[in-house]
Amino acid sequence: MRVLAVNVGSSSLKLDVWGADLVRPFIKLEVRGIAGDRGGLVENGAVVERKVFADHAAALAALLQRVPELERIARVGHRVVHGGSRYRGTTRVDETVLRDLEELVPLSPLHQVPMLAVMRACRGFFPAVPHAAVFDTAFHSAMPPRAYTYAIPAAWREAGVRRYGFHGIACADIVAQLGGELRERAIILHLGAGCSATALLKGKSIDTTMGFTPLEGLIMATRSGDIDPGALLFAQRNLALTPQKVEYVLNSESGLLALSGSADMRDLLRRRDDEAVSAVEVFCYRAAKAVGALTVALGGLEQLIFSGGIGEHAAAVRAGIGTLVAGLGVSIDADANNADAPIISAPAGAVRVHIIAVDEGRQIARDTMALSLA
């Protein structure tokens, strides 16, 4: 069986083709910088074309031309950021599912809108092939009520306002990669353009920092993370902001970008000005604070896992967070950390610390293959 794994980002599109063994893909393709001025097409990690792609539809058309033996694709799996309260596992896509996902657009507009466009286009291109929706929220669907309940009126909760959690596909791939090395009480720090922390008890999510939408929790590249709702009401009243403008600012003009003028952690770590230094410090502090809170949820900490672009490649960020959580038994070996080694904990450290490169495409393919079509 060959599976096409489709992963839509707000300004990117990835296509991977996997076989049943899931050892390595036949091909990995990506378009970056969609609708921007620095677009590029990447094949197996190498940039093969510099070009501006107007939208995700144009990117999809360009990528499909490079997929070998399209006729052998047996299933197509799509990453879906938000499944709401209805979708708690991988689901076969039909018109009913598409309508439900349309209704969830307001909860994750940056991802859900282009995802739906690509999903519809792929169904048109592969009409006779089963398509699966693989949900980022599904991994967290078994969180206990104490972790997902907001202290809001019953009518709001009955309407589905609760904490869902995201980055679940990445978390599932980490659990699969670690296998028997996964300890009973572990925390994943997934740090990239989007950032979250997840508490794993025996491999299951019991709490996470993202909530009703991917805005809650840690500071991110352009997203604010946690903020007092009263501050939003104040901004609306006193800065004459519409709800739509507030939503845009929180998603696209906040986070590291708002603190420093740059959304790129690599840029901030090169700079020495006060704004950049402060932004990194605040970023690390908020991540470390989340580790402390999730340690309480777990009743202890045995393993800490860094993933995502920042988590995998920013040694200074890992060191900064490690220093702040040293009281929890975390001790990072400087040489291993600077070398981006797979295990970076000091030999005497009580907590095992890993760096893991996530492959969401593989997990999408894994879940798509496992979907029963009966």
CATH number for the domain that contains residue 114: 3.30.420.40
Where b means 16+ CB within 10 Å and e means fewer, 43-55 reads eeeeeeeeeebee
pLDDT digits (tens, 9 = 90+) for 75-133: 999 999 999 888 999 999 999 999 999 998 888 877 889 999 999 999 999 999 999 99
The pLDDT of residue 311 is 98
Give the residue from 172, 171, 163, 168 showing the smallest Cα distance to 145: 163
The pLDDT of residue 110 is 77
Q: Which domain holds residue 63?
A: 2-135
When pLDDT is averaged across residues 167-180 and rounded to a whole number, the result is: 97
The pLDDT of residue 37 is 66
Check whether residue 237 and residue 311 sit in a common domain: yes
Find where tokens 């950032």 sit: 195
- Residues contacting residue 35 through CB under 8 Å, at least 6 positions apart: 11, 53, 54, 55
Q: Tell me the pTM.
A: 0.94
Residues of the chain with pLDDT > 90: what percent?
90
**At residue 344, does pLDDT exceed 90?**
yes
Q: Per the domain annotation, does 160 fall within a domain? A: no
Q: Per the domain annotation, does 154 fall within a domain? A: no
**At residue 64, does pLDDT exceed 80?**
yes
Q: Per the domain annotation, does 127 fall within a domain? A: yes
pLDDT digits (tens, 9 = 90+) for 284-312: 999 999 999 999 999 999 999 999 999 99
Q: How many CB atoms lie within 10 A of CB 120?
A: 13
Token pair of 41 as six digits? 């097409």
d(CA 280, CA 9) in angstroms, rounded, equals 24
Q: Per the domain annotation, does 362 fall within a domain? A: no
Tally of structural domains, the chain: 2
pLDDT digits (tens, 9 = 90+) for 125-169: 999 999 999 999 999 999 999 999 999 999 999 999 999 999 999
Q: Per the domain annotation, does 140 fall within a domain? A: no
136 is catalytic: yes
- Options 37, 100, 136, 273, the catalytic residue: 136
- Residues contacting residue 93 through CB under 8 Å, at least 6 positions apart: 78, 119, 123, 131, 132, 133
Check whether residue 214 and residue 80 sit in a common domain: no
Q: Per the domain annotation, does 169 fall within a domain? A: no
When pLDDT is averaged across residues 321-343 and rounded to a whole number, the result is: 98
Check whether residue 18 and residue 93 sit in a common domain: yes
Residues of the chain with pLDDT > 70: what percent?
99
The pLDDT of residue 36 is 75
